[in-house]
Amino acid sequence: MITHDTVFACAPGRVELLGNHTDYNEGLVLSAAINRLICVSGKRNDRSIHLMSANFGEIEIDPVDLRPLQDERWVNYSLGVANELRELHVPIGGFTASVSGDLPARAGLASSAALQVATALFLLKLFPARLAPLEIAKACQRAEHRYVGVQSGLLDQMIALFGRADHALFLDCRSKDIRRVAFPAELALLVADSRKSRQLTEGQYNLRREETSAAARSLGAQALREVSSSVLARRGDLSALLRRRAMHVIGENERVEFALELLKNGDGIGFGKLMNESHTSSRQNFENSTAELDLLVSIAQGLPGVLGARLTGAGFGGATVTLCDRPRAQHIAAELSMRYAAATGITPSVFVCRIADGAK
């Protein structure tokens, strides 16, 4: 029975700890949901689809005419999800929904996936239907491909759905297997938003996907997941550009595997070293860092109590994640903010994040 009551759903953002741009290369990722959310609330509306956001405005369209919009593009994440659920025979009609939350947009913290997942759960409650979490994640991914134009992997949607408090999530992007790994209680994560927003639809993300696919084909592999760094080192037939792109993805897969053992042993120092190596590879091999992200990472790495730092998410702007001793976390956050502001004239948003549960 379709409800006319007000319903709501919330989904978290995430920090990518290791495994940068490995998801669409069928690789390995270590990530975690954080205690910053996007929420969608509302009720059925028989006349239209009416979406509102205090930050982005509002739109109203005919529910029969679902299509990507060219002007108010923020709504395409939600409209795309509605369309994908219809394709799965969920009887989506008109509705009024308000979007809110404290997860920064365009900061590399998966706000788009949080919006998609929150929208999907909201609609599945408003127009009651049951879908498995993996099916929901894939529907959200297809919405981003078809309605937004970003050929994203499945990482962000999976973390938003499967997150567990105080646990990192290991995701095998080929098998879709997820393993929860206890995160050391004495360590904390800081997120620093550079205030340089990302615009993935401008093409750099899709270009990197094309480049890594080309590298895999040149290496005779279905995906870079199948190639080791030792095999890559023996191949001299790749262009310099494709070699660097492959080196980054292959190295990230191997760093994730090393990190699992380090977390099991509570080795924060070793884990932080892998994060530092990851950022160096992002800067040199994948070229998805920026001057602002490099500065945040450099400042953080020089502060007492910091074990490692790197960009988080797709890059090309956005945020960094810093691993540090928990007792010093608030002091480190304040110092990082002060030094970045002094160097750039831009006050970043820096906060200590808690590893949180997934969507609800």
Equal CATH topology for 7-172 and 183-353: no
Q: What is the DSSP letter of 154?
A: S
Average pLDDT, the chain: 95
More confident residue, 8 or 200: 8
For the cut 80, the answer to whether the pLDDT of residue 199 exceeds it is: no
The SS3 assignment for 357 reads: coil
Distance CA 80, CA 298 (A): 39
Residues 257 and 246 sit within 8 Å (Cβ to Cβ): no
One-letter amino acid identity for 134? L
Distance CA 308, CA 300 (A): 8
| Residue 169 phi, psi (nearest 5) | -115, 125
Encoding tokens for residue 343? 């160097």
H-run or E-run covering 353? strand 349-353
Q: Which of 48-52, 74-78, 176-180, 202-206 is predicted with the least confidence, judged by mean pLDDT?
A: 202-206
For the cut 90, the answer to whether the pLDDT of residue 153 exceeds it is: no
The reported pLDDT for the residue numbered 360 is 85
Distance CA 34, CA 12 (A): 6
Distance CA 267, CA 132 (A): 35
Confidence of residue 70 (pLDDT cuts 50, 70, 90): confident
Closest Cα partner for 30 from 172, 235, 230?
172
Residue 338 burial (CB count, 10 A): 14
The reported pLDDT for the residue numbered 3 is 59
pLDDT in tens, 95-135: 999 999 999 988 889 999 999 999 999 999 999 999 999 99
Residue spans per domain, the chain: 7-172, 183-353
Mean pLDDT of 169-194: 96
Share of the chain above pLDDT 70, in %: 97
The SS3 assignment for 124 reads: helix
pLDDT in tens, 289-344: 999 999 999 999 999 999 999 999 999 999 999 999 999 999 999 999 999 999 99
For the cut 60, the answer to whether the pLDDT of residue 1 exceeds it is: no
Considering the four listed CATH numbers 3.40.50.720, 3.40.50.800, 3.30.230.10, 3.40.190.10, the one that applies to the domain covering 7-172 is: 3.30.230.10
One-letter amino acid identity for 65? D
Classify domain 183-353 at the CATH topology level: Alpha-Beta Plaits (3.30.70)
The reported pLDDT for the residue numbered 5 is 87
Residue 269 burial (CB count, 10 A): 10
The SS3 assignment for 35 reads: strand
Mean pLDDT of 276-300: 97
Distance CA 169, CA 140 (A): 19
Sheet of 306-312, strand order: 306-312, 319-325, 187-193, 349-353
**Could you list the active site residues?**
156
Query: What is the reported pTM?
Result: 0.92
Identify the bridge partners of residue 319 per DSSP, sorted by sequence position.
193, 312
